[in-house]
Amino acid sequence: MAACDEGEIVIKFSHVTNTDRHPKGIAASLLQERVNEEMDGTACMEVFPNSTLYNDDQVLEAMLNGDVQMAAPSLSKFEQFTKQFRIFDLPFMFKNIDAVDAFQNSETGQEMKESMTRRGLLGLAFWHNGMKQMSANTPLIEPSDAEGLKFRVQNSDVLKAQMAALGGSPQPMAFSEVYGALQTGVVDGQENTWSNIYGQKFFEVQDGITETNHGVIDYMVVTGIDWWESLDEDVRSQLATIIEEVTETRNAESFKVNQEARQAIIDAGGEVRELTPEQRQAWVDAMRPVWDEFKDDVGQENIDAAQAIND
Ligand code: LMR
């Protein structure tokens, strides 16, 4: 961690994942490196990964209290601040990370960064992780295989509804607790990206990972609007430029980072199960009805826009 010099603006960046072989971990480290090099004497960034400072339930509150200046929680974690982001949790809404990228870069997506300013939070950038896969302590091939199982979910009503649609029982839980919960059987399964399944070693305590690509985990780099506006214009603009460049560089690599994590899981003896198109369609049919429950929150026009990008 960089030691900050006296007089420098201290920017604490808190996140919950590992730092290597992880799209967010790598991006946050690069941001730290660039800020500390290019803004030396003016600003200093300290990144706290692996939930060492806060978990995602605490970090936004801490930000509003001024205890931390930046974070990049997954979009699912903003539910208490805005319902708009629910579109990102709807299963099978985006066909791949490129479609997510295109949606985020549309006018609607860009406006979402400012959807929480009234609550004191400002989005600075979207960072990619990737598509989610399903795992459990029993093979998941057909959606009915998930019936009666307890699945850890992020604390999001959409994700709870998604697991309920499968006949599963959703258990909201902080990311840092998932490995232990899987290991001790508090939950049977979970959903996450390859990089998180690898980084947290979930594959070691699961029967296998089914390649469903059914949803997305992406992030918003967020800051407290009061803090951001307290910065001198030139400082803010230099920081914004660095964030923009890091975003562009690392988002372009996120798919590759996840594919490498997928391979690393296989190399470490983890079981990866691919689905036939028919098998995957059965998961689509089981989960898609969840859209109806949330279409008023996210707006039919936004769903239509996301679907048009997929085509
Ligand atoms: C999770 O809670 O599963 C993820 O949001 C963790 C993360 O930041 O990727």
Distance CA 166, CA 285 (A): 10
Pocket test for ligand 1, best of 21, 89, 217, 222 (most atoms within 8 A of CB): 217
Residues 298-308: what's their mean pLDDT? 94
3-state secondary structure of 273: strand
Ligand 1 atom with the smallest distance to the CA of 196 is: 9
| Span 12-70, pLDDT tens digits | 999 999 999 999 999 999 999 999 999 999 999 999 999 999 999 899 999 999 999 99
Closest CA relative to residue 191, chosen from 148, 230, 153, 235? 153
Which residue, among 298, 24, 40, has the nearest Cα to 157 in the 3D structure? 298
Residue among 56, 156, 194, 257 whose CB has most ligand 1 atoms within 8 A, to mutate: 56
Q: How far is the CA of 311 from the centre of ligand 1 (A)?
A: 28
Beta carbon of 17 within 6 Å of any ligand 1 atom: yes
Is the pLDDT at 2 greater than 70? The verdict is no
Percentage above 70 pLDDT, the chain: 99
Tell me the mean pLDDT in the region 163-183. 98
**Cα 106 to middle of ligand 1, angstroms:** 24
Per-residue pLDDT, 79: 85
What is the rounded CA–CA span in Å between residue 43 and residue 3? 11
Q: What is the reported pLDDT for 192?
A: 98
How does DSSP classify residue 74? B
In the prediction, which pLDDT does 173 show? 96
Per-residue confidence at 288, pLDDT binned at 50, 70, 90?
very high
What pLDDT score was predicted for residue 75? Answer: 97
Q: Give the CA diameter of the chain.
A: 61
Q: Which atom of ligand 1 is nearest to the CA of 15?
A: 8
* pLDDT for residue 81: 87
- Cβ neighbours of residue 87 closer than 8 Å, sequence gap 6 or more: 93, 298, 299, 302, 303, 306
Grade residue 80 by pLDDT with cuts at 50, 70 and 90.
Answer: confident
- The number of the ligand 1 atom at minimal distance from the alpha carbon of 193 is 9
The mean per-residue pLDDT over the stretch 125-134 comes to 98
Whether ligand 1 lies within 6 angstroms of the CB of 196 is answered as yes
What is the average per-residue pLDDT within 174-185? 97
**pLDDT-based confidence at residue 3 (cuts at 50, 70, 90):** confident
What is the model's pTM?
Answer: 0.97
Give the pLDDT confidence of 137-154 residue by residue, as tens digits.
999 999 999 999 999 999
What is the arithmetic mean of pLDDT over 88-98? 97
Q: Which of 196, 76, 201 is nearest to 133 (CA)?
A: 196
15: exposed, middle or buried (Cβ count in 10 Å: 0-12, 13-18, 19+): buried
pLDDT of residue 89: 98
Average pLDDT (152-157) is 97
> What mean pLDDT comes out for the span 176-183?
98
pLDDT digits (tens, 9 = 90+) for 273-284: 999 999 999 999
Helix (H, G, I), strand (E, B) or coil at 148: coil
